[in-house]
């Protein structure tokens, strides 16, 4: 393929810094992973792996390096590898994060990097937990649009302002990083948890929806929004930057405003 002769008219001077700097540096890290396989033992234990990694590598790359080169039995979920599918939420150095969004260079690599499964959900094997209780709570808050009356032939109208009202909570990828960071959820598995409330928020504040009262009634339950102690772990944990605690507060306000 050759370009035709016309020279591009629109040309800009690029700064000298364009493209960043040369070779990607390498460094050594120790990965400390909590292992559990009930086919082998009822007890969990820690395994350490020493790895040489690149500056652009994420924790997920380190886990893959272990699985692909050192220990094929290491088990964890992952799919998209860039923070949109929500498969690989785990506890990294004591904080809930997505392994594919956590760059190794942003962690303190002078000490071992600890990786554990998220808390509050039953561990199945290594970093894999049973997500079913989490999705059960999600399903209970009616996570779908309920619009009464006849549907218009074209789209329902919604002003940009009304659309903006619930934008933040539409970003949720159901990774469970928030719910499994919540101390209330750890001690009381019945609590709906932040993610379910976030998804209720997404519909309660959608101008097209007519089932807000039903959701608020569900969340006014003793295991509902009032269990939240505004500890803010969930907001810190959210890999999508959703202001989870704020969303929960807005739901609380809505419950109070519509007292049954």
Partner 1 sequence: MQVHKYDVVIVGAGGAGMRAAIESGQRARTAVLTKLYPTRSHTGAAQGGMCAALANVEEDNWEWHTFDTVKGGDYLVDQDAAEVMAKEAIDAVLDLEKMGLPFNRTPEGRIDQRRFGGHTRDHGKAPVRRACYAADRTGHMILQTLYQNCVKHNVEFYNEYYVLDLLVVEDDAVREDGTPYKQKRVAGVVSYDLASGEIHVFQAKAIVFATGGAGKVFKTTSNAHTLTGDGMGIAFRRGIPLEDMEFFQFHPTGLAGLGILLSEAARGEGAILRNSEGERFMERYAPTIKDLAPRDIVARSMANEVREGRGAGPNKDYVLLDLTHLEPAHIDAKLPDITEFARTYLGVEPYTEPVPVYPTAHYAMGGVPTNIKGEVLQDNDTIIPGLYAAGEVACVSVHGSNRLGTNSLLDINVFGKRSGINAAEYAKTADFVDLPDNPTAETIAMLDVVRSGTGTEKVAAIRSDLQETMDANMQVFRTADSITTALGDIEKLRERYRNISIQDKGKRFNLDLLEAVELGFLLDLAEAMTVAALHRKESRGGHYREDFPDRDDANWMKHTMLYKDPTAETEGIKGIRFGTKPVIFTRYEPMERKY
113/125 Cα distance (integer angstroms) = 19
Stretch that binds partner 1, among 1-9, 112-120, 182-190, 224-232 (CB under 8 A): 1-9
Q: Which is nearer to partner 1, 126 or 227 (CB)?
A: 126
Number of residues that bind partner 1 (CB under 8 A): 79
Residues of this chain, 5-24, that bind partner 1 according to CB under 8 A: 6-15, 17-23
CB-nearer residue toward partner 1: 116 or 209? 209
Q: Which residues of 94-127 are buried (b: 16+ CB within 10 A; e: fewer)?
A: eebbbbbbbebeebeeeebbbbbbbbbbebebbb
How far, in whole angstroms, is CA 216 from its chain's centroid?
Answer: 24
Nearer to partner 1, 79 or 253 (CB): 79
Residue 226 within binding range of partner 1, rule CB under 8 A? no
C-alpha 48: how far from chain center: 26
d(CA 94, CA 115): 8
Q: Which is nearer to partner 1, 130 or 188 (CB)?
A: 130
- Residue identified by tokens 């218009």 is 152
Least gap, CB of 191 to partner 1 (angstroms) = 20
What residues does 90 pair with on adjacent strands?
97
CB of 80 to partner 1, least distance (A): 5
Scanning 44-52, 61-69, 111-119, 215-223 for contacts with partner 1 by CB under 8 A, the matching segment is: 61-69
- Residues between 73 and 102 that touch partner 1 (CB under 8 A): 73, 75-87, 101
Provide the 8-state DSSP code for 66.
I
d(CA 107, CA 166): 33
Tell me how far, at minimum, the Cβ of 118 lies from partner 1, in Å.
Answer: 14
Q: Contact 240/232 with Cβ under 8 angstroms?
A: no
């Amino acid at each position: 393929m050759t370009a035709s002769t016309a020279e591009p008219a629109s040309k800009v001077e690029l700064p000298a810094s364009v493209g960043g700097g040369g070779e990607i540096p390498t460094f050594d890290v120790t990965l400390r992973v909590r292992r559990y396989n009930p086919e082998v033992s009822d007890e969990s234990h820690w395994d350490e792996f020493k790895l040489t990694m690149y500056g652009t590598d994420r924790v997920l790359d380190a886990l893959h390096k272990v699985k692909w080169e050192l220990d094929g039995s290491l088990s964890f979920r992952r799919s998209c590898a860039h923070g949109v599918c929500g498969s690989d939420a785990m506890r990294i150095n004591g904080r809930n994060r997505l392994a594919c969004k956590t760059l190794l260079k942003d962690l303190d690599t002078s000490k071992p990097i600890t990786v554990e499964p998220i808390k509050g959900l039953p561990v199945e094997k290594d970093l894999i937990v049973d997500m079913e209780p989490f999705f059960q709570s999600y399903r209970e808050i009616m996570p779908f649009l309920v619009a009464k009356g006849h549907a218009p032939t074209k789209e329902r109208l919604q002003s940009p302002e009304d659309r903006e009202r619930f934008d933040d909570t539409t970003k949720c990828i159901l990774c469970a990083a928030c719910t499994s960071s919540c101390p209330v959820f750890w001690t009381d598995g019945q609590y709906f948890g932040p993610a379910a409330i976030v998804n209720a928020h997404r519909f309660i504040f959608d101008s097209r929806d007519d089932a807000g009262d039903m959701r608020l009634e569900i969340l006014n339950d003793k295991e509902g929004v009032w269990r939240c102690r505004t500890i803010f772990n969930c907001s810190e944990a959210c890999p999508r930057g959703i202001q989870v605690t704020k969303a929960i507060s807005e739901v609380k306000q809505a419950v109070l405003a519509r007292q049954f």
